[in-house]
């Protein structure tokens, strides 16, 4: 399995009680456009479990086939005087009523990390997902992900957890990783945390050397109704309709 893909990872702050409306807007109304016009696949859309992180928040993850594809996407978006695709003006205006801002990063998948197409084909789906953001020593991201592959995947599989993604954050000197785990039940997640005893790595494996990891943060997420792993396909134009209230 080889993965040369890059990703846009978005943490989106939601205004008021609009999270369900935003998730529908991003999956049903935007994702089909991104697929058709930009070759952009929806990897996942999730709502953050507020007791474990910032709330109300949505996490978006978009998949591109290469750096060239991502560059084409940026050119498509920013070649206009408004720094915005004019054809999406109405979509942006509606989205702005649901969100106040956010924080994005570009991710590079580990060569062995599954694509969204592979995950769908394998039937991977989480009742709940662990979303780990790990700050490591500068230049140590590849070393950390190698430990995830050799130690974390076998250990977490004993609890029924499946690796959904392992990434390095680009353009930060190899100092950050993002790892996603799909759990088959809430209890499976609870068993993992209990096995580790609430420590900083939040995983029942030996982890990385103490001088490798600087900070480890985990939040929990739940699939949006039209998130690809939940429905087993990419969101489509046919999914448009009345947004949830």
Convert the pLDDT of each residue in 140-190 to its tens digit: 999 999 999 999 999 999 999 999 999 999 999 999 999 999 999 999 999
What is the rounded distance in angstroms from the CA atom of residue 69 to the CA atom of residue 198? 40
Looking at the DSSP bridge assignments, the partners of residue 180 are 131, 165
Min mean pLDDT across 85-94, 204-213, 231-240 is at: 204-213
What's the confidence (pLDDT) of residue 211? 80
37-56 tens-digit pLDDT: 999 999 999 999 999 999 99
Q: Which residues have a Cβ under 8 Å from the Cβ of 146 and sit 6 or more positions away?
A: none
Min mean pLDDT across 46-55, 77-86, 96-105, 212-221 is at: 77-86
Using pLDDT thresholds of 50, 70 and 90, give the confidence band for residue 110.
very high
Instruction: Tell which CATH classification among 3.30.70.100, 3.40.50.460, 3.30.565.10, 3.40.190.10 matches the domain 116-223.
Output: 3.30.70.100
Using pLDDT thresholds of 50, 70 and 90, give the confidence band for residue 91.
confident
What's the confidence (pLDDT) of residue 100? 95
Residue 2 burial class via C-beta count within 10 angstroms: exposed 0-12, middle 13-18, buried 19 and up: exposed
What is the rounded distance in angstroms from the CA atom of residue 181 to the CA atom of residue 229? 12
Using pLDDT thresholds of 50, 70 and 90, give the confidence band for residue 207.
low
Give the chain's mean pLDDT: 91
Task: Count other Cβ atoms within 10 Å, centred on residue 41.
Answer: 21
What's the confidence (pLDDT) of residue 89? 79
Instruction: Tell which CATH classification among 3.30.70.100, 3.40.50.970, 1.10.3720.10, 3.30.750.210 matches the domain 6-107.
Output: 3.30.70.100
Q: Which residues of 163-189 are buried (b: 16+ CB within 10 A; e: fewer)?
A: bbbbbbbbeeebbbbbbbbbbeeeebb
What's the confidence (pLDDT) of residue 199? 53
Residue 52 burial class via C-beta count within 10 angstroms: exposed 0-12, middle 13-18, buried 19 and up: middle
| pLDDT at 232 > cutoff 60 | yes
Give percent helix, percent strand, percent coil of the chain, each to the nearest 5. 35, 30, 35
User: Is the Cβ–Cβ distance between 172 and 107 less than 8 Å?
Assistant: no
What is the rounded distance in angstroms from the CA atom of residue 170 to the CA atom of residue 174? 7
* Numbered ranges of CATH 3.30.70.100 in the chain: 6-107, 116-223
For 134, the token pair is: 């790990």
């Amino acid at each position: 399995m080889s993965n040369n893909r890059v990703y846009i990872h978005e943490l989106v702050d939601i205004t008021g009680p609009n999270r369900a409306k935003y998730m529908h807007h991003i999956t049903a109304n935007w994702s089909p456009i991104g697929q058709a016009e930009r070759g952009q696949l929806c990897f996942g859309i999730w709502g953050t479990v507020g007791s474990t992180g910032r709330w109300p928040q949505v996490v978006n993850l978009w998949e591109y086939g290469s750096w060239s594809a991502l560059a084409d996407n940026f050119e498509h978006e920013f070649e206009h005087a408004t720094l915005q695709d004019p054809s999406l003006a109405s979509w942006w205006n509606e989205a702005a009523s649901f969100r106040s801002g956010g924080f994005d990063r570009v991710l590079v998948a580990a060569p062995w990390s599954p694509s969204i197409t592979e995950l769908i084909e394998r039937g991977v789906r989480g009742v709940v997902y662990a979303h780990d953001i790990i700050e490591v020593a500068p230049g140590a991201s590849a070393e950390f992900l190698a430990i995830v592959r050799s130690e974390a995947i076998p250990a977490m599989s004993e609890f029924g957890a499946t690796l959904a993604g392992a990434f390095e954050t680009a353009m930060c000197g190899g100092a950050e990783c993002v790892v996603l785990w799909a759990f088959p039940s809430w209890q499976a997640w609870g068993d993992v945390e209990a096995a580790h005893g609430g420590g900083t790595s939040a995983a029942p494996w030996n982890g990385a050397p103490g001088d490798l990891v600087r900070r480890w943060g985990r939040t929990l997420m739940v699939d949006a109704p039209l998130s690809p792993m939940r429905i087993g396909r990419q969101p489509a134009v046919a999914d448009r309709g009345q947004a949830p209230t």
